[in-house]
Amino acid sequence: MLKTNWHTHTNRCGHAVGTDEEYVIAAIQAGVKTLGFSDHAAYHTPRPRSRMDFELKDDYFSSIRSLKEKYRDQITLYLGMECEYFESEWETLSRYRKDLDYIILGQHDLWLDGPDVYHPFTSDQVFEYVNLIEKACNRNFCDYVAHPDVFMWGYPGVDDTVRQAASRLADISVKYNIPMELNCGSGVKYGMREFQDGMRYAYPVRIFFEEFAKKNCPVIVGLDIHDPKLFTTDEYVDRALSVCEGLDINFLWDFDLVSAAKERKQQFR
Ligand SMILES: [Zn+2]
Ligand SMILES: [Zn+2]
């Protein structure tokens, strides 16, 4: 099991199970030394089963902070969030940026309750998705890009649009020195399925990691965990790693994301 994981959910998002403390205990038992919580950001518009309600965020903050104290001798805990870059929510997002230890960018939708990655994007929407990631990085809003290839969940297959998106994401990673994630969540959990380019996991998708390898982008493995029991298995990590077999990836193992976040926060705008 990984010693460090920055991508951890809680039951507040409505599609994760277990208590906060169960995640912490399971992580300790699995040998995790640094655990960052990054539940789906709360916005003023609720969306049950997809993100936490705005009223729950204070409980989330205080629960993780108190567990941090309680288990300080056994594990180092940090409080983050998985946010989208939504200009309409900028006031809320700016607060999170300032108050939290770190932010990971998981751009699931093009705008609040707009088109999402679970339905096929058009080419233009793929490029808009990449533009949003670039804007977030340019403003130093986030500390790593979660599942940069997540739109492949709904997209029919690897084509020229995807190749261009992969190349642009690699350029963004280099330009802003921002880590890209190899995600071990739903994309591998639900197994391989048939796409226009053949049988594979929905994400991670190899073409992205070929680009990341070619341009020496920093890559962080993220569990994207929604169930404490999954700390006990390496199955999903192994599946994700199998996607980039043979590639010379610049993996950042045990990267101190919070120190990097402190520096980025000073440039946040
Ligand atoms: Zn989730
Ligand atoms: Zn996530």
The interface pTM score, or ipTM, of the predicted complex is 0.94
In the reported structure, the alpha carbon of residue 242 is separated from the centroid of ligand 2 by a whole-number distance in angstroms of: 20
* pLDDT at position 49: 81
Give the integer Cα–Cα distance in Å for 38 and 151: 20
Q: Which of 36, 103, 101 is nearest to 75 (CA)?
A: 36
Average pLDDT (87-111) is: 97
Instruction: Write out the residue range of the structural domain in which residue 119 sits.
Output: 4-266
In the reported structure, the alpha carbon of residue 106 is separated from the centroid of ligand 2 by a whole-number distance in angstroms of: 7
Residue 1, pLDDT > 80, answer: no
When pLDDT is cut at 50, 70 and 90, the band that residue 113 belongs to is confident
In the reported structure, the alpha carbon of residue 185 is separated from the centroid of ligand 2 by a whole-number distance in angstroms of: 8
In the reported structure, the alpha carbon of residue 75 is separated from the centroid of ligand 1 by a whole-number distance in angstroms of: 23
Give the integer Cα–Cα distance in Å for 10 and 62: 13
Alpha helices by DSSP H, listed for the chain, are 20-29, 57-70, 90-99, 123-138, 160-176, 186-189, 206-214, 235-243, 257-266
Q: Which of 60, 56, 106, 57 is nearest to 83 (CA)?
A: 106
Q: Domains in the chain: how many in total? A: 1
In the reported structure, the alpha carbon of residue 256 is separated from the centroid of ligand 1 by a whole-number distance in angstroms of: 23
Closest ligand to C-alpha of residue 10 is 1
* pLDDT at position 48: 78
| Structure confidence by residue, pLDDT tens digits, 196-218 | 999 999 999 999 999 999 999 99
Question: Which domain CATH number covers 157?
Answer: 3.20.20.140
In the reported structure, the alpha carbon of residue 7 is separated from the centroid of ligand 2 by a whole-number distance in angstroms of: 6
Closest ligand to C-alpha of residue 37 is 2
| Structure confidence by residue, pLDDT tens digits, 53-92 | 999 999 999 999 999 999 999 999 999 999 999 999 999 9
